[in-house]
Amino acid sequence: MPATQYGAASADAELVAQLQQGSEAAFRTLVERYQNRIYRTVVALLRSPEEAEDVAQEVFVEVYQTIGRFRGEAALSTWLYRLATSRALKHQQRARAQKRFAYFTSLLGFDNKVLHEPTDHAHPQAQLEGQQQLALLLAHIARLPSQQQVAFTLRHEQELSYEEIAAVLETTVPAVESLLFRARKTLRTHLTIPLRHA
């Protein structure tokens, strides 16, 4: 393990010990150390800053409530990414269910309009091809199966290694490689944006 990674792991182990003793200062340190990474992960999946803030807060509340059960079988950062992606995907599922319900109630005449309009990432005035392609990319990433979506996000948004992604998803490196291969293949069939193979 490189010295920087060893130092981070050691600092995290000490932080976990303090958290499990109920230290409020340790919890503030945890939030300061990881809030940006957790927020960026969640917003990359949800594409909504407001929703991402709420979900990121939920992640840290869950950490505070369950840190006593953390046994260090995975790195602290891995556990946090796992909680963040899990909560983000659950939030996605709830939002989709609400949109479906709103759509069907509007069709059935129980309401005069759809309650939740899908997010439109392509702003009407966005004329540049790059902006349109980005909007298309985000839309297609959101349609990927959940495991592919998480793997793609952690690799290309957070730049995690294959080993780190495997730890978050509790799977193997070859499985991660397969998820990323299928995600990129699906995206390439719909997009003209060159996708970096990494």
Q: What is the pLDDT of residue 97?
A: 58
Is the Cβ–Cβ distance between 49 and 6 less than 8 Å?
no
Q: Are residues 99 and 125 in the same domain?
A: no
Other residues' Cβ atoms within 10 Å of the Cβ of residue 20: 13
CA dist 141 → 42, 56, 108, 151, 167 (Å): 14, 20, 31, 11, 21
Q: What's the pLDDT band for 127 if we cut at 50, 70, 90?
A: very low
For residue 111, the domain's CATH number is 1.10.1740.10
Q: What is the pLDDT of residue 3?
A: 46
Q: What is the pLDDT of residue 39?
A: 95
- The residue among 51 and 108 whose pLDDT is bigger is 51
Is the Cβ–Cβ distance between 152 and 121 less than 8 Å?
no
Q: Are residues 129 and 69 in the same domain?
A: no
8: tokens are: 């981070």
> CA angle, 183 as apex, 52 and 89 as ends, to 5°?
30
Q: Are residues 113 and 139 in the same domain?
A: no
* Domain boundary residue, one of 72, 90, 119: 119
Domain with 150 in it = 121-198
Q: Return the minimum-mean-pLDDT range out of 50-54, 70-74, 128-132, 171-175.
A: 128-132
Provide the sign of the torsion angle of the four alpha carbons 150, 153, 155, 158, taken in this order: negative
In this model, does residue 126 exceed pLDDT 70? Answer: no
Q: What is the mean pLDDT of residues 22-26?
A: 95
Residues 6+ apart with CB under 8 A from 106: 112, 113, 114, 115
Q: Are residues 82 and 128 in the same domain?
A: no
pTM of the predicted protein model: 0.68
Q: What's the pLDDT band for 180 if we cut at 50, 70, 90?
A: very high
Give me the helix-helix angle, 146-156 and 162-169, nearest 10°.
Answer: 140
In this model, does residue 68 exceed pLDDT 50? Answer: yes
Is the Cβ–Cβ distance between 57 and 28 less than 8 Å?
no
Q: Are residues 17 and 115 in the same domain?
A: yes
Is the Cβ–Cβ distance between 73 and 10 less than 8 Å?
no
Domain count across the chain: 2
Chain centre distance of CA 102: 25
Q: Are residues 155 and 109 in the same domain?
A: no
Q: Average per-residue pLDDT in the chain? A: 80
Q: What is the pLDDT of residue 7?
A: 60
| DSSP conformation letters of 115-161 | SSPPP--S-TT--SHHHHHHHHHHHHHHTS-HHHHHHHHHHHTS---
Read off the pLDDT of residues 107-119 as tens digits, 9 standing for 90 and up.
Answer: 444 444 433 344 4
Read off the pLDDT of residues 134-149 as tens digits, 9 standing for 90 and up.
Answer: 677 778 888 899 999 9
Is the Cβ–Cβ distance between 134 and 142 less than 8 Å?
no
Residue given tokens 């200062």 in the structure block: 25
Q: Are residues 196 and 99 in the same domain?
A: no
